[in-house]
Chains A and B, each alone.
Chain A
Amino acid sequence: MITPTEVLIWTLAGSGFGVLLSWIPGFHIYNLLALVMVVSPLFLSIPEAFPYFTIGAIVSFVYLSILPTVYLSVADESLVLMLFPTQRYLMLGKGHMAVWLSLLGALGGTIIIVLSGLTFLPYIIPFVYQIFSAYIVWIIVLIIVFMFMSEWPKAGDREKTPLRRLLIAWRQTLGGLFVFFTAGLLGFIIMYTGLVPARFAYVRLTPMFIGFFGMPWVLQNIISKRHVPHQDLTDKIEASTWGVINGTLSGAFGGYIAAFFPIVTGGMGALVAGHMASSRGDDVFIVSQGSNRLLYYLGAFFLLFIPTSRLTRGTGAWLVSSLYTPNSWTEFYYAAFAILVAAAVSFVMVIYMSKILAYLLSALNYIWVSYAVAVGLAIISYLLAGLPGLVVLAVATLIGLAAVAFNTRRSYCLGGLIFPVVMSMTGNVGVLLELMHLGMG
């Protein structure tokens, strides 16, 4: 049995590992977990330490990835009708404040995950699982349908004729459908054909995600020639207490939904929870994102530790369970302790690294930084999935840019994950492969 001291050491080691890599744009949790796999042979002799190392890495990833989200995804407002709230903060010189808001959410999410885990969650999860397990496809499809139906037409209002207004408004929704299904087809081809060889295992979806979400932002920065304005580095937060509470709770609720239901992502969970809690406002949104991401990534992993249910949700949990599955209440309490330790380390690191990044970005030529990031993303894709990875990156980037051009939700790119899985869950993979004249990879 692992000792508390060993738990602390391995958690700190995981945190250090996460801190070193998570702030780099493009280093998604999937990349990180792929690297965790590389170090996993180390744990063959001490497999019981692996879960805590992974907790440290995931917590650090959630906290540290706030930095590239805020500082490296700025775009010109003329390219998109609505900016992401963190981009708006950055362009108003308040990037550091956006980091603080996200941190508040992440901290709130950390407290919620630990408190709920230590109190009611172990008793409720088995019932929730029994109630909903037979209806998971229904729930996923419901959320997807709702995403499309609730798309708010941002353009068209200023056109001269009613018909033209309708046309322009619907271009956005139809564009969203286009993005979802093209992304879905790409994901389907990657998962079920030999385009990206199976030896790339866990990471073969990574170039696709970089193309959907990372690269279009970087390209936008380059095209729009945007420079980051001078940033206010004061440690202050402008947000109402109610806004922070609302954001944290709705984000946590959305995160739990995403953690519990397979394929439902953090963004989809946040959409549902945001509607339930009537969350409105940039500050509330940023706080909720911090909380949501923590519960989404860590909530799914934490389920593995709950002795009453021991659900395996998410790549991290599958990876760890291949070496070792925690099976006692002691390990469950150790996990809660590990989360708090890793969160404390990451929290402090984020504040200091935010200041350094904000200073550097104001001082450096942002366009050159964006070029460097673009090259970095391409190299990561190549290293993870070879030449096919670069092909996937290019196609996915075009789809990501289409979402920008149609001014529609970027989250529709998640079709790349949702569509193939829903096809699989409904038993339609073979039908589609036959229709497309493609063989299994």
Chain B
Amino acid sequence: MRGWTHFLSGIAMASFFPELLADLRMGILLPVITGVFAYLPDFIDFKFRRFLWKRDYEIDPAPWDPKRKLAPMKINIKDFDLDKRWQLYYIEGTVVSVIEEGNDYIRFRVNDGTGEAIVEAIKEDYERLKRIYGEIKPGLKVRLPGYIDTGDGGIKWVVADAPHPQLIASTIARAIDEAYETGKLVTVKVYNIRMAADVYRRFLIHYDSPTRTIKVYMGPLVTTGGLPIKGTDVPEYRRVGEARTRYPFVKTYPRPTIIDAFNGPEIGYHKIVLPDGREVVEEKFIPWHRGFSHSFTAGAIAALILLPILWLIGYPHYLQLAIAAMLGYWMHVIEDQLGFMGSNLFPPLTKERIPGLMLGPNIYTGMNFATSWLMVSLIIWNINRFTLPRPIPLPDPLLLLILAAPSIIIYGYGVIDSIRFRKLYRAYWKRMAALEALEEQEQVGGL
């Protein structure tokens, strides 16, 4: 659910207490705390835990220029290193000599004053180079985005407008293997790729568990809203990166991980035991989220901290406000439980996230609106029944039914949508299990 929906839930909880509403009418604004409490779980996670979380691997496909806060960043040839392989940078220098040129490729030497490197451009990248510079000849000054790679003659510079996805695939595969071998949670931070004009290079991580392969697809440039920009797809030869893992893994949420605008995510990997006894590595998306902060326990503790503070400052309705704040906090936990990810609901009794109800998986917008509207309805309903004379002269049950009708209808559709999705989901898992069995048979020579 979106932030305001949670915030509204806290306000709605406050409206159930006539004493708090009376205070608000008199300009005593302390009950605002209930909204704050209802938003607190996300506030803790996104404003604190996210930044303090330990990262085991950092994948930066296109490091930023520190001043412009954009990719690509300039690299000197003397700093070429295989540790920087496949990352997007740019070099600036003068063409020294052309080694060879064909119909759709060219190899030449460039000197940037710090050293000399072999540069290679093929297919679409060669065509683009020709479009920009015309004939490549000695003495020509060039600015070439691309990445370091290895070839027959050692390290070379490949002209490209995006990093090679192999970097991401290889690192994730390594993290999965490490998680399996150590039994610990391994967190990988994947940075996004921000280019000039505030557009982002989209890439997609796909977990192909039957073949134990991580596939990363480099996509087009997109706006912050995710709108692809025409003509910015990367050439096929550097579009896909693949890396195999030594150990099996699963991804609970059956959709690829897409990274584009805003911040790149942290992805955790940890070993779990499946019901059939197999040990596999499971992806835990943004592992710092939906932990203790999103639990009923945390809500109760937060209210217990608030209670004496309110009492000490002499607020007469301290008990009602503390209870309303706790209910607001709990509403956040309940609302999040309607989705996929779920939360760790009762620590220390529970240790991991308990999967959500998957309500309305294809109508996220509708579910969010339905919940917001339900909270608005509750606020109106409560204010009406605690105000004399009643502004809306209708019986309480009828008024609530009229107000909440849109939410009830959308929730109803959300349940139907969920049933449909679960059917597909089961079919997907059956298919994946069959593919995995097939793959294992292939590996041991059974087929």
Contact = CB atoms under 8 A, between A and B. Distances in A.
Interface of A: 77-78, 81-83, 85, 87-88, 91-92, 127, 130-132, 134-135, 137-138, 141-142, 145-146, 149-150, 152-154, 156-158, 162-163, 165-166, 169-170, 173, 238, 246, 271-272, 275-278, 280-285, 425-427
B36 A281 contact: no
B143 interface: no
Contact of B224 (A282, A425, A427): A282
Interface string B362-382: 001100110011000000100
Interface in B140-177: none
Interface stretch (B84-92, B120-128, B190-198): B190-198
Contacts of A277: 365, 368-369
Size bin of chain B's contact surface:
35 or more
Interface in B1-44: 2-5, 7, 11, 21, 24-25, 27, 29, 31-32, 35-36, 39, 43
B64 A158 contact: yes
A275 B5 CA distance: 7
A193 to B, nearest CB: 24
Given A141-B29, A153-B46, A278-B368, 5 more contacts: A88-B224, A138-B29, A163-B52, A173-B47, A283-B227
Given A162-B51, A166-B51, A127 B263 contact: no
A149 B364 CA distance: 23
A280 B365 CA distance: 10
B35 A146 contact: yes
Interface of B: 2-5, 7, 11, 21, 24-25, 27, 29, 31-32, 35-36, 39, 43, 46-48, 51-54, 60, 64, 67-70, 191, 196-199, 223-227, 229, 262-264, 364-365, 368-369, 372-373, 380, 383-384, 387, 391-392
A169 B229 contact: no
B226 A281 contact: yes
A146 B384 CA distance: 25
A40 to B, nearest CB: 36
B48 A150 contact: no
Contact of B69 (A78, A132, A285): A78
Given A138-B24, A149-B3, A150-B39, A280 B225 contact: yes
A198 to B, nearest CB: 27
Contacts of A162: 51-54
A319 B39 CA distance: 40
Given A238-B227, A281-B226, A127 B47 contact: no
Contact of A131 (B53, B60, B64, B391): B391
Nearest to A133: B391
Contacts of B60: 158
A275 to B, nearest CB: 3
Contacts of A281: 223-227
A173 B198 CA distance: 21
B225 A141 contact: no
B263 A149 contact: no
Give the 3 A-B CB pairs with smallest separation, nearest first.
A281-B225, A275-B4, A130-B391
15 contacts: A77-B196, A88-B223, A92-B199, A92-B229, A131-B391, A149-B7, A149-B36, A153-B51, A162-B52, A166-B48, A271-B4, A275-B372, A280-B226, A281-B227, A283-B227
B4 A276 contact: yes
B322 to A, nearest CB: 18
Contact of A92 (B27, B32, B197, B262): B197
Contacts of A87: 198
A128 to B, nearest CB: 9
B4 A150 contact: yes
A153 B384 CA distance: 38
B136 to A, nearest CB: 27
B263 A131 contact: no
